[in-house]
């Protein structure tokens, strides 16, 4: 059973649309799919044709009491054959408050425990998250092995994503559980130059972490949500169906990689040391394609004073290859001043280049 959380703290970027329509397309390919609606707004529940007002029990019952984990299967509602939804409701917004007195460990693994009881029933679990990084998203990240971050191409703020990836990395570090994050460009309007440029910048920045599939703007997606059905069962030839079907194929073709240890043993990483010197900076991190552009992810840092300067030493574990990176100096992205080798990106930025032999 693959568990995939759809996460972005930005509202309206296509999380719910991605969750329900990817679910529909995986289902059409023959998979048994469960959508877990972790958003108290219950949009995914509605988009799968279930009225949250009329369901008797929802996820709140399952998550509020550790003894109720096994009840998950009882609250699941069949939207169509082999496509189920674990419904949400506004009451879910009270969960954080209700569990506030409990230790972090026990209040953040509620969903993971509940999902353990349904592994034999589903091939895919897709978790729709609310637009914030609170207890509900925390539970989703803990339960998932994979994360899809929908990124709206029309109002893209690269710093917003960096922040989000950083948060995900931090959370997964804190809970000692690694997730594989991938970026999905959404709400793409190829007629505007801005969207085209944004897409190429995102591709360049995230490389393999970015899906090949791009979700175009398509009004039929809104219509499908209103009708309570995934788009592929209602407008077979719409762009929304084509795009989410392509995404389903891509997801099916790329199960999560092997666990980190076995990956590392194959690639034979080397220790690489880089240094950054500055007299004013108070925080310096490094981000590149080697760590998914998440500042300092997987990096050991040392800070020393030398004369009037401070020197940041960054120790990276890299397999032989060519890498692009930048420093993040007090939140500002800069190339390495001591490295003459740079690569100009498609949109005019400059990344420093590091080659490990």
Of 79, 137, 218, 241, which one interacts with ligand ATP (CB under 6 A)?
A: 218
Angle at 229 between CA 180 and CA 35, to 5 degrees: 35
Q: Report if residue 15 touches Mg ion, rule: CB under 5 A.
A: yes
Q: What is the DSSP letter of 98?
A: H
Query: Whole-number minimum distance, CB 124 to Mg ion, in Å?
Result: 18
Kindly state whether residue 215 participates in binding ligand ATP, applying the rule CB under 6 A.
yes
Look up tokens 């082999």; give the residue.
82
Compute the distance between CA of residue 208 and CA of residue 186 in angstroms, rounded to an integer: 17
CA atoms within 13 A on the CB side of 82: 14
Q: How many Å apart are CA 316 and CA 320, to the nearest integer?
A: 12
Radius of gyration of the chain (CA): 22
- Cα gap 284→299, rounded to integer Å: 12
Residue with tokens 């996820």, as numbered in its chain: 59
C-beta of 69 vs 136, nearer to Mg ion: 136
In whole angstroms, the minimum distance from the beta carbon of 260 to ligand ATP comes to: 29
Q: Which residues pair with 353 in a beta bridge?
A: 324
Rule CB under 6 A: is residue 186 a binding residue for ligand ATP?
yes
Residue from 2, 145, 196, 222 touching ligand ATP (CB under 6 A): that is 222
228 binds ligand ATP (CB under 6 A): no
Residue 18 has which token pair? Answer: 């991605």
Binding status of residue 190 toward ligand ATP by CB under 6 A: no
- Give one DSSP letter per residue of 129-162, joined into a string: PPSS-SHHHHHHHHH-SEEEEEEESTT--HHHHH
Instruction: Report the nearest approach of Mg ion to the CB of residue 131 (Å).
Output: 7
Binding mask 138-177 for ligand ATP (x = CB under 6 A): ----------------------------------------
Size of the site for Mg ion (CB under 5 A): 3
The residue from 3, 25, 28, 43 that contacts Mg ion (CB under 5 A) is 43
Q: Which stretch binds ligand ATP (CB under 6 A): 38-46, 65-73, 191-199, 333-341?
A: 38-46
Question: Applying CB under 6 A, which of residues 4, 5, 43, 238 lies at the interface with ligand ATP?
Answer: 43
> Taking contact as CB under 6 A, which single stretch among the options 35-43, 57-65, 158-166, 285-293 is the one that binds ligand ATP?
35-43
Q: How many Cβ atoms from other residues are within 10 Å of residue 159's Cβ?
A: 11
Binding mask of the shown chain, residues 245 to 264, with x at each position contacting ligand ATP by CB under 6 A: --------------------
Nearest residue (CB) to Mg ion, 15 versus 142: 15
DSSP per position, 185-232: EESB-TTSHHHHHHHHHHHHHHGGGB-S---B--HHHHHHHHHTS-GG
* Candidates 9-17, 260-268, 296-304, 312-320; binding stretch for ligand ATP (CB under 6 A): 9-17
* Helical pair 239-253 and 15-28, crossing angle rounded to 10 deg: 70
Which CB atom, from 42 or from 286, has the smaller least distance to Mg ion? 42
As to burial, measured by CB atoms within 10 angstroms (0-12 exposed, 13-18 middle, 19+ buried), residue 253 is: exposed
Min dist. Cβ of residue 128 to Mg ion (A): 6
CB closer to ligand ATP out of 13 and 294: 13
Decide whether 131 or 228 has the Cβ nearer to ligand ATP. Answer: 131
- Look at the block and give the residue holding tokens 């590091």: 354
Q: Which residues bind ligand ATP (CB under 6 A)?
A: 11-17, 39, 41, 43, 131, 186-187, 215, 217-219, 221-222, 225
Q: Which residues contact Mg ion by CB under 5 A?
A: 15-16, 43
């Amino acid at each position: 059973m693959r568990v995939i959380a759809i996460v972005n703290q930005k509202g309206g970027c296509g999380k719910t649309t991605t969750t329900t329509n990817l679910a529909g397309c995986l289902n059409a390919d023959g998979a048994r799919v469960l959508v877990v609606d972790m958003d108290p707004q219950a949009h995914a529940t509605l988009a799968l044709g279930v009225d949250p007002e009329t369901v008797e029990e929802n996820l709140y019952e399952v998550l509020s009491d550790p003894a109720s984990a096994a009840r998950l299967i009882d609250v699941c509602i069949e939207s169509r054959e082999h496509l189920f939804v674990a419904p949400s409701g506004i009451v879910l917004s009270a969960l954080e408050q209700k569990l506030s007195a409990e230790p972090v460990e026990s209040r953040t693994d509620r969903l993971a425990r509940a999902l353990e009881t349904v592994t034999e029933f589903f091939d895919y679990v897709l978790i729709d998250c609310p637009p914030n990084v609170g207890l509900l998203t925390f539970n989703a990240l803990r339960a998932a092995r994979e994360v899809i971050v929908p990124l709206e191409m029309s109002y893209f703020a690269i710093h917003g994503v960096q922040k989000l990836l950083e948060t995900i990395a931090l959370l997964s570090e804190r809970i000692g559980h690694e997730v594989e994050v991938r970026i999905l460009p959404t709400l793409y309007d190829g007629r505007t130059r801005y969207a085209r440029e944004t897409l190429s910048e995102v591709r360049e920045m995230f490389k393999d972490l970015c899906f090949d599939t791009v979700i175009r703007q398509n009004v039929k997606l809104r219509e499908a949500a209103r009708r309570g059905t995934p788009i592929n069962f209602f407008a077979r030839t719409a762009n929304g169906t084509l795009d989410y079907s392509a995404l389903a194929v891509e997801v099916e073709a790329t199960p999560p990689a092997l666990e980190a240890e076995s990956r590392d043993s194959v690639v034979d990483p080397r220790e690489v040391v880089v240094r950054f010197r500055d007299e004013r900076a108070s925080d310096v991190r490094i981000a590149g394609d080697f760590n998914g552009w998440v500042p300092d992810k997987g990096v050991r840092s040392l800070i020393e004073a030398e004369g009037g300067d401070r020197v940041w030493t960054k120790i990276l574990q890299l397999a032989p290859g060519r890498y692009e990176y930048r420093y993040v100096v007090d939140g500002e992205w800069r190339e390495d001043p001591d490295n003459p080798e740079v690569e100009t990106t498609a949109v005019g930025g400059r990344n420093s280049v590091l080659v490990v032999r």
